[in-house]
Structure 1
């Protein structure tokens, strides 16, 4: 037998012997662990049950809720909205009694941080507008599109934003309405809101006058019975343009009415999703966390006691 073959056999025997020893050690440790569990099963079960009970009562007495309000900042007031949210948070941190009285809550009310973020919908900004579409394509050629969308300079142009109010208890609708009322407090923007509303009413009235004039022309043509009127109705481009203009004016009036209604506010609340049970992170999970911590702590204590 060659020397190389002998060396290979010796190496294989060493590997097999080492593996056998490791397996034996692991088996011994597993047996010892099972024996440890059996010896301390009562303590382990007791700690698990105590942890579960304490966790249950902790979850019961430490509820976490959040309310989401979808809003529409009117006439470019996104910066104003963000500033007002900062003001609300500062009032909450300072436990400002005047603010609490204004929104109808006490200092003991568990109201937490208020956040605002845009509802990102790039297609609503582009809205089939080729100029905006080309601009967006140019901006994204050498950059990550998602970063551009999330950038404040872009996101502030989204028409809808979401306000999230965190609380440790259920908040009444009246409180939420008062918070929105506080956010909408501004002499400057309220004055602008009134002026814009008056301009929209004037625009709406002018459009209605134009529609009435177009209707009068169309009625006159429609009531004519001679051949020339029929030819005019079918072929004249000016008449077709009048019909198209009427359609555009009707559509514009619809948008103006919606905008006019929204101008009851600086920042218009669109929809409320109130007092949603917050289950993110460790919220409402202490009934599981406490038993794991208690039992895990027992194992750590036993290990330290034995080896140190």
Structure 2
């Protein structure tokens, strides 16, 4: 019994001394590092200054540009493929392609990409796509609606999309965005669709305007109790019905006019925000990263040289 207690006291004593030795080594290492910094402060300061100067010399100001667009006439897939093509041409340094587009200094463009705004409610309530709600219900049978919203196939069919462009230095809208939109809108198939749609909208608006005029005449005629033999509906019920029909036609015309303004191009530009300065996180900022890397390299070189000397002396002895 006493032997076990004695062994436990020895084990506890060893553990205690081990903990104390560990903390002593930590304290010694900390002060060794502190005194090393003090001895080498001039070298470290010089390396820090060199790093900052190098960061300013090699640092390029990166800017983001965003173009909100609406693909019309079912051109969503076409839009995505075209943006993918432009980004590929950037990586291939295709001079001929960008000269044909009228884009200069394309080598300062880092990347071009596109993504959908996650507006599933607009997608479901789209007046021109009555089956979208049933489609979402069918796709979301597993209950993971968030996954469905972010799914590439689903998101491509959203109403609003964002083209993101990243450049080295500032860019004017005329230098890239306008030529890009012109290129996206140069498609003979969708151009025919655009013309047909515009004509259909204009014809429908004209017909609605004609119906509104006829309804106004009927309301005036019925209100004046000057019934014509051609009018067979009851005066009591006809005027409210005609007013309701006129209101519907006016609301439809408002929608058609709004839609007509949207479908005047294949890829409709909603808005553009250019030259948004891109700031890297603090630790990835070159003005911090370069000096820190230089100083760390110096520490690594110094430690390696000390280890080498010790090993050399050991082998020599």
Q: State the TM bucket, normalised to the shorter chain.
A: 0.7 to 0.9
Whether contact under 8 Å (2:109, 2:166) holds in the other structure is yes
Whether contact under 8 Å (1:100, 1:107) holds in the other structure is no
Structure 2 distance, partners of 1:108, 1:125, is 35
Match of 1:211 in 2: 212
Match of 2:184 in 1: 183
Match of 1:13 in 2: 13
Whether contact under 8 Å (1:102, 1:178) holds in the other structure is no
Q: Deviations over 1:105-144 (max 9, x none)?
A: 3356512321111111011122298965465344323142
Cα gap change, 1:31/1:240 in structure 2, threshold over 3 Å: closer, same or farther? same
Whether contact under 8 Å (1:72, 1:268) holds in the other structure is yes
Cα gap change, 1:233/1:218 in structure 2, threshold over 3 Å: closer, same or farther? farther
RMSD: 2.8
| TM-score, normalisation: structure 2 | 0.84
Match of 2:43 in 1: 43
2:77 pairs with 1:79: yes
Match of 1:307 in 2: 307
Match of 2:114 in 1: 116
Whether contact under 8 Å (1:149, 1:155) holds in the other structure is yes
Structure 2 distance, partners of 1:71, 1:283, is 35
Once the two structures are overlaid, the 10-residue window that deviates more, 243-252 or 23-32, is 243-252
Higher relative contact order (Cα pairs below 8 Å, separated by 6+ residues) = 1
Structure 2 distance, partners of 1:282, 1:91, is 32
The number of residues matched between the two structures is 300
Once the two structures are overlaid, the 10-residue window that deviates more, 199-208 or 128-137, is 128-137
Structure 2 distance, partners of 1:201, 1:51, is 65
Once the two structures are overlaid, the 10-residue window that deviates more, 102-111 or 69-78, is 102-111
Structure 1 distance, partners of 2:88, 2:134, is 41
Structure 1 unaligned blocks of 5 or more: 227-231
Structure 2 distance, partners of 1:282, 1:99, is 38
Match of 1:160 in 2: 160
Cα gap change, 1:115/1:234 in structure 2, threshold over 3 Å: closer, same or farther? farther
Cα gap change, 1:300/1:283 in structure 2, threshold over 3 Å: closer, same or farther? closer
Structure 2 distance, partners of 1:241, 1:156, is 42
| TM-score, normalisation: structure 1 | 0.86
